[in-house]
Amino acid sequence: MADIHSDKILILDFGSQYTQLIARRVRECQVYCELHPFDMSLDDIKAFQPKGIILSGGPKSVYEEGAPEITEELFELGVPVLGLCYGMQLMSRHFGGQVVPAGKREYGHADLLSLGTPGPLFDGFFSDGVSSVWMSHGDHVETMPQGFEVVAKTSNAPVCAIQNVALNLYGVQFHPEVNHTPKGELLINTFVRKVCNCAGLWTPGQIVEDAIVKIREQVGSDQVILGLSGGVDSSVAAALIHRAIGAQLHCVFVDNGLLRLNEGDQVMATFAENMGVKVTRVNAQQRFYDALSGVVDPEKKRKIIGNLFVDIFEEESQQVVDAKWLAQGTIYPDVIESAGAKTGKAHNIKSHHNVGGLPDYMTLKLLEPLRELFKDEVRAIGEELGLPQQMVWRHPFPGPGLGVRILGEVKEEYCDILRRADAIYIDELYASGHYHKISQAFAVFLPVKSVGVMGDGRTYEYVVALRAVETKDFMTAGWYPMPYEDLARISNRIINEVKGINRVTYDISSKPPATIEWE
């Protein structure tokens, strides 16, 4: 079997909000890559053995005091390097170029004009000498670096793409990783597959084969336990591990009362009944409701839910004789964001429920077969493993479940109201064909009452908000333009069918400034 990690790209992060997008674009070229901080040591870079290196953008100016620097010897490794925005400016300065504040900043769409020397990276990038790109910069290269030539410019910036073909060094002032650069994926694919000569080994089938071999090598004849939530990540992890070691896997499904309608029964039907996986179902709804009583702070709720899950899971794991491993559905964005929070290179907006190791009193070793994968890759291997499409392509669901979709205190009554409203909403999205056009949709329970009229009587009941967003990366998101007639039908059904609700609203805020979830 081919080594799917043999051809790989290293991405050095200088603080760009788009860095994860760069990694995803490289993976879409069927090539493995890793994202590391800009101050990765030269020895570690050499040990990584990249076929190519990408330098990300960043929010600083290269001439600012304390701005992120680069390991100077990086350009002497003999591997192709592509600098994006800040990365291009660092490259330019290293080779004697001068970077200065632009007379006019460029943010948003721009027309990139070819200067007639496209070179290997830009093959097919320009149509009639022009290509639409997305800019986000306040500085530009004023004096060219030694040994480089200008490939393209905009009406505002005379140097927007540079190359030194002899040294295999390239830089662009724009962002090819974002959707707003229509041919950006082509440029990244050209760099990865043609300039760096990487083979396309990173495919769902080969990822599954590689993971199965590694799981068997790690685990041997040991017993493994896994907390099955019904979400995409834990479900794919369970299916993958079961494919590798069969009956050595023991799943514990904790029904915490914060799940979607009939979700517990669906999980048991998929894994225990149809796939033959050993699953223990723990009905712990009341324990969670009691623990959450009176708690309104979102982070406190998250911690209570997470800690109680660990307690119950630990109780159940004692029933598995000779269990040596705890399997988790940790995925690559969890790892990146948690590492960033620890090193101070990223803001910790809210805590991840499955990153950070195990409680001290648990002696199990961690098994995380999805740790290298982005969400879209997890879905792809879920399909490869034969999981139901409706499970694999289900919208994301937070670890704390309805606990963070009920604003303020969590009560059983609120959970029952919300899960029924949410089920109607999702049912209508499927029926109207909107579900797979939307990245994430859900209902939110608001612990406020409003006056209404039903029949000839006055009502004083609760409010739910409907949320639906479109996004490529979940770092930014826009609200989904739901047709009025569909909103009217959804609202009508919820108010008529869910006792306790007399008002439905639709959330039209984007991320940023709002987050996708309400808590």
Q: What is the pLDDT of residues 156-168, one digit of tens each?
A: 888 999 999 999 9
CB atoms inside a 10 Å sphere around CB 436: 11
Give pLDDT, residue 117: 75
Q: Is 235 annotated as a binding residue?
A: yes
CB 50 within 8 A of CB 10: yes
CB 54 within 8 A of CB 13: no
Question: Which pair of structure tokens corresponds to residue 301?
Answer: 């709720």
Residue of 177, 316, 377, 384 marked catalytic: 177
Tell me which CATH homologous superfamily contains domain 204-392: HUPs (3.40.50.620)
314 is known as an active-site residue: no
Q: Which of 238, 184, 187 is CA-nearest to residue 370?
A: 238
* pLDDT tens-digit readout, 229-287: 888 999 999 999 999 999 999 999 999 999 999 999 999 998 988 888 999 999 999 99
Give pLDDT, residue 364: 83
Q: What distance in Å separates the CA atoms of residue 458 and residue 444, rounded to the nearest whole number?
A: 24
Burial of 77 (0-12, 13-18, 19+ CB in 10 A): middle
Q: Is 111 annotated as a binding residue?
A: no
Q: State the span(s) of the chain assigned CATH 3.40.50.880.
A: 8-195
Residue of 94, 137, 140, 175 marked catalytic: 175
Question: Which pair of structure tokens corresponds to residue 120?
Answer: 């290997």
8-195: CATH topology: Rossmann fold (3.40.50)
Q: What's the chain's length in residues?
A: 519
Give pLDDT, residue 1: 65
Reported as type and span, the H/E element at residue 35 is: strand 32-37
Residue in this structure with the two tokens 């000779």, named with its chain if needed: 322
CB atoms inside a 10 Å sphere around CB 426: 19
Q: State the span(s) of the chain assigned CATH 3.40.50.620.
A: 204-392
What class does CATH assign to 411-506? alpha beta
Q: Is 267 annotated as a binding residue?
A: no
Output the CA torsion sign for 474, 478, 479, 485.
negative
Q: Three-state SS for 462?
A: strand
Q: Is 422 annotated as a binding residue?
A: no
Q: Is 293 annotated as a binding residue?
A: no
Q: What's the 3-state SS for 263-292?
A: HHHHHHHHHHHHCCCEEEEEECHHHHHHHH
Give pLDDT, residue 340: 54
Give pLDDT, residue 104: 66
Q: Which residues of the chain have pLDDT under 70?
A: 1, 103-106, 137, 338-362, 456
Q: Is 230 annotated as a binding residue?
A: yes
Residue in this structure with the two tokens 């721009």, named with its chain if needed: 110
Chain centre distance of CA 181: 20
Q: State the span(s) of the chain assigned CATH 3.30.300.10.
A: 411-506
177 is known as an active-site residue: yes
Give pLDDT, residue 329: 92
Q: What is the DSSP string of 334-391?
A: HHHHHHHHHHTSS---S--SS-S---TT--PEEE-TTTT--HHHHHHHHHHTT--HHH
196 is known as an active-site residue: no
Give pLDDT, residue 349: 34
Q: Is 360 annotated as a binding residue?
A: no
Q: Which of 8, 190, 175 is CA-nearest to residue 88?
A: 175
Give pLDDT, residue 73: 92
Angle 459-464-466 from CA coordinates, rounded to 5°? 145
Residue of 29, 33, 85, 196 marked catalytic: 85
